[in-house]
Structures are given as C-alpha cells and as structure tokens.
Structure 1
Amino acid sequence: MRKQGHRSRAGVAVLTAALLGVAGCDAVGGDSAGPTQKPSPSARPTPAWDSSPGSVAAVGDSITRGFDACSVLTDCPEVSWATGASTKVDSLAVRLLGRAKAAERSWNYAVSGSRMADLSTQMAQAASRAPGLVTVMAGANDACRDSTAAMTSVADFRAGFEDALSVLREKAPKAQVYVASVPNLKRLWSEGRTNPVGKQVWKLGLCPSMLADADSLDAAATARRDTVQDRVEAYNSVLKAVCAKDERCRYDGGAVYDYRFGTDQLSHWDWFHPSVDGQARLAEIAYRRITSVT
C-alpha cells in the first residue's frame, strides 16, 4: 500500500510538473512567445522617403508655369520653380537631378488658369511618365474668381484633390508627392497695391475676388478679402489632411503660404505672380522640404 501510494504521488508530481512546464511561463509573465499574431496595419513599416528621386513631374497652375515672370500675360516655364532650366532659378528639378538630367527627366504639365477640378487630367499625364516625384501647386485659382460666391467650395476642393491623387496612385503607385500650400493672396494684394502699374494690370481681371477695387478699404472690400483669405486657409487644411493619408506624400507645412513675398519676389508686370526671384525662393522652399529627413 505505501509503495503504491508513493508511485501515485510521484505520478501526480510528474504530471503537475509537465502541466506547469506547458503553461507556467505565460502564467508568471515569462518569455513564452504564445500564439503568432499578424502585425496590425499601423505596425507595418511605411516606405522610406527618397530625397533623391530619379525624375520630377509638375502639375498645377500659372505659378508653376512661370506666368508673368518674363513678360506680361505670358507663361515662362523656363523659370518655373519646379522644372525650369534657368540658372537664375535653379529649379527643384535642377537641384535634385542636376542640370543635364533635369533636361531629360523633368516634365511640366501645369496649365495657367487651372483649378483643382483640372488636376486629375494633369496628374494622369504626369503618371504616364512613372515619375519619382510629382510636385503639386494648385488652389489659387479656386479662390481667385469673379466673386466670393463663385469660389470652389471646400468640399469640392477636397474631392478634386482626392481624385487627382487616386489617378496618380492607379498608374504610378510608388511616386512621391510634394504638395505646396496655396500662397497668402491677401499679402500679395497688400504688397502689389503699392504699385500703380500692377494695379492697372489687375483691372484686366486678375483675381477679382481679392484684387478688385484694390485701393478700397471700406467694410465691404475688407470683408470680401477676408472671405477669400479664409477660403485659402481652408484649402490649405484640406491639402494637409489629404496628403497626410498618403504615405508617400509630403505637404510643405504651410511654408509657401507663410513666405513673405516682397516686391523683389513679385512679377514687375502684374505685381501678383512670383518674379524670377520669387520662383527661386519657391524652389528653395520645396528643396528643403523634400530633402528633409523628417
């Protein structure tokens, strides 16, 4: 009886030890790996930003076309901040690729006068090149309308930008995107209104929602300009938010909006669009943002 009881107790001890060996580590917070789990989407690594893309395509409006930088009411893409070849600007493409390569591996699909609704068409053209980087500068013409009532709604602006990015992603899923903020139109009015020649050009219909009755400071004119400015700020919030959802997109953090264009940086034809010097400043802003490690 004692012998049989001893064997029974020994068996129970062995069984208990075996069970504890299986479950004990987890029970006391040990190093058992436990069941394998798939990483959550948020834990997956995001693609590294390439600060040296092999090609650059530009989309947007008159600013990217160098409008009024060289002569009145005329595009001058050779001084474009994004892709121009001018040594006076050292465009983003030249800074990233070198002058010789930029001539072969950069393309400007921006169109003067275009609004956000037009961006998808341009983006399709850019995507066909399978670019390493696409630059986006659009939105000023959505605010520069005949009246504040005619300005593009924030919802439509968002839909247009989202559609443009989806067009790019369908054809060029790995292309990086640099998004410039919409310039501070009210500051441009404030700087340009000091020049009588510029104000005469404004009367030809340049951004009437902001520039009409340039010298008027009454309540109605002030309210109109403030309404335009509020819409520009709302557009920039959209650009920031939509870009943040795309892992290969960088917004400029409001750098273009915050840049204080002076008379040297404004076209001496219309005192509203960037001059050659202004284009160079835009290229600097973009280059710093794109080559930043964060």
Structure 2
Amino acid sequence: MALTDALQATGGRRLYVQLGITLTVLAAAGGMLAGHRATLDSGTDRLAAADGEWLLVAGLAAMATWVFAAVAQQGAVAERLPRGRLVAAQFAACAANHILPAGAGAAVVNLRFLTRCGLSTRRSATALAVKAAAGGIVRCALGVALLVISPGTVRLSARVPHVLVLLPVAAAGAVLAVAVSGRLRRAAGRAFADVRDVHRCRSRAWALWGGSVGFALLHAGVVVAVVHALGLGLSTQHVVMAYLVASGAAALLPTPGGLGSLDAALALALTAAGAPGQAAVSVVLGYRLLTGWLPMAPGLLVLGLLARRSAL
C-alpha cells in the first residue's frame, strides 16, 4: 500500500513538472508571437493566397500519416490488430497528442487501445517504445542518407562532425545507465525479447520499419507541398532536412504536439535553408493547420466514439 502511494506521488510530481515545462514553453512561444505580430499577420495573408492544388496534396499527405502510423504500430506487435479501429485510434491519438505534453496523449490512447486488444500493459508499453525507437532511428537514418546523397543540403557542414561525435557519447551514456540500473536492465531485456519476436515475422518487421519511414517522409512531404504552394524556391532536399532537424530538436521539449518548440525550430531551419522570415512563418502555419488544427475537432470526436464503444 505504501509502495502504491509512493508511485502515485511520484507520478503526480512528474505530471506537475511536465505541465510546468509545457506552460513555460507555451508562454515563451506566445511572447515570441506577440513580438512578431506583423510577421505572423503577413505569413497568414501569404498562406491564404497559396496554390490550392498544392495545399490539397499537403492535406492528402497529412491524412496518409495516420495510415502509416497504424502500419508502424501493427508492426510493433506480433498479434494482429483490427485495422479499422487501429487507424481510427491513430487519428484520435493525433488529436490527443496536441492536448497533453511530450506525446503523452498519443501514448495514452495507443496504450489503452492495445490493452483493449488483449495485450498486457507491459507488452503494450514495450510496443509503444519499440515504435518510438524505430521512428527516432528512421529520422536519424534519413538525415544521414540525405547528407550522403546531397552533401550540400546542410550549409553549415563544419558543425556536422561535432554532432556526429556527440552521438556515440550519448549512446555510451545510455548503455552505461542500463548497465548500472537493474530495473533498466530488466526492462531492456524484455524490450529486446519483444523486438526479437517482432522481427521473427518478416511482414511485421517490414510494417514497423516501412510504416516509420512512410510516417516521417509524409510529414516532411506536407512541409514540401506547403513550400511549393507558397511558390518558394527551396529545394526538396533542403526542406526535408529542415523538417528532420526541427522535429529532432522539438523532441527535446515536452510540449503538446511540439506546439511552440516544433514551430520555432521549423521556422529557424527553413530560414537557414534560405526562406525569408515571413515565408517560413507561412510554411509553419500551413503545416500546423493541416496536421494539427483542422483534424483536432474530428479527432476528438473519434476519440470519444472509440471510448464509448470500449475500444479505448
């Protein structure tokens, strides 16, 4: 009983810390927007005059991200999941992800969905971790591949070696933490066992990695389509790299759906790629509109419907 109370107290403190960080980041983002009100207004006007056909392409790419998220989630478990409800759960998770910090909304929705499908809480949590790890690995691999294929993609190429040196240091730190902590060692062992089970089935492995690649590329495709809709002269390679860098940086700040952190990082990355400041703001607004704001209300309705039907 005392252990349960301690866990609840720890979880409560962690939630308060996350909420505090979220409110701080959102307040900072609000202050930045207020200080650049003229740029924001100009960006909104420019988006309103954008090419409708390219915006339609961006919207279709945004909708396809939910399908690929469902494919990746199916690939993270050995059991077959109901396809229709799985896609609906990803749509609902997208809406929930813009309400709770650090991706907690999507994690809670998917955790509930997997447990309702008969998986234990431990295996459901491991499946979410496997999917998240695959997504992170895929984004890093895509960035490296883009640098190899098109070395001129990153203009500040002198800083790349410093970043590459930090990667093995961070990996070594993670391995050391797992080796020292018995709890982390046991959790890692269970996770590796589940990963082996998934990769014993070739179709599941293809679903996990293919879905993760498609999810990342489609999100980058939304940004590329919005850039074309605005008539900017940026190359596709620069835009894709800007999204990959921005999404990686935004993952360090626990804001709902990357709100504020992803917006600022993406605007800075696009500006570094050669976009004018007002045009970069327009691209970010278009990306947000298609991937977050427009799907929000119907996503919450689907979330309520799934909960009412005991699918969550």
TM-score, normalised to structure 1's length? 0.31
TM-score, normalised to structure 2's length? 0.29
Larger radius of gyration: 1
More relative contact order in 1 or in 2 (CA 8 Å, sep 6+)?
Answer: 2
Which structure dedicates a bigger proportion of its chain to strand? Answer: 1
